[in-house]
Amino acid sequence: MKRFEHQWQDFKWIDCEGPSHEDLIKLAEEFPIPLQALTTCLDPEHLPKAEFLEKVLFVILRHQDLQAKPKAATMQELTTKLVFFIGRDFVLTIHRAPLPCTTERKDKASFENMTLIGLVKNLFLQTLRSFDAPLDELDSKTDVIEERVFSLKRRNILREGYMVKRKISSYRKVFKFTADILNLIPTEVEIPLRDLSQVREPLIKHLFYADEIQEEISGLLNLHLSLMSQKTNEASLRTNEVMRVLTVFSIFFLPLNFIAGVYGMNFEYMPELKTHYGYFITLTVMILVVLAITYWMHRKGWLRTDSN
């Protein structure tokens, strides 16, 4: 376990990175914190929450995981936990991996004159700012998908769009649970309204940003599906039109082929074969059949085209 301590005049900050179960037992002996609450720090599945434990405020936040894989989509895969135990004279933070909000704590320009509320507020703000880059990346991907929807390059749009939607849904969940924490904390500890507003303001912006991205990507996916459905329908209409034309021709030629087939049979005793005007009579009958079929199809409306 990596442990960092800094003592101010009225409080102390202890930051623990990657503690083992034995380290947590020692922390329970050192601080007025229940061991059960400390052991939950090792569980990666926890959502953001706040709980008042007698003399200590127990807070769990989710920080963007810098080691998250590109295909990560769930909240547990995209983020990592940052745990706070806030007492009257100490702040204990616990996390598994190194986090920028804690590694950059040695900024001497503002670090020496830090107050307990100021330290907690800064850690909260840095945790929220860790989501700036992922949200910008998802917004950029949404713009790329939007350009591809209206172009012919529509390959893998559904897969990429669904991945963006899953990620932004996970971030929205983190932001909403964090907002619940900010609403709960003033009921448990006395925090100046100005400091709390400075934390709530970027959180509201993140929520708005995430809602906008989710709404946009959902609209793009629906639009893509509509365009693909329209394209399929247009192809079906063209196929149906071709089949309609072929059907019309087959209706005309089917009785003509029947007449020609009958008189094409090579039977010796066919009285019509020796009729002097049999050829012209047969052609006349064929023409009359064609005219009758044309009139019948016109009455049925099969020869009209739906141009409107």
Residues present in the chain in total: 308
Q: What pLDDT, on the 0 to 100 scale, is given for residue 187?
A: 65
Domain parsing of the chain, residue ranges = 2-230
Q: What pLDDT, on the 0 to 100 scale, is given for residue 137?
A: 94
Strands lying side by side in the sheet with 49-53: 2-7, 12-17, 90-95, 79-86, 56-64, 49-53
Q: What pLDDT, on the 0 to 100 scale, is given for residue 170?
A: 93
Q: Are strands 12-17 and 49-53 parallel, antiparallel or unpaired?
A: unpaired
Q: How far apart are CA 177 and CA 255, in angstroms?
A: 76
| pLDDT exceeds 70 at position 141 | yes
Report whether CATH 3.30.460.20 matches the domain 2-230. yes
pTM: 0.74
Q: What is the mean pLDDT of the chain?
A: 84
| pLDDT exceeds 60 at position 108 | no
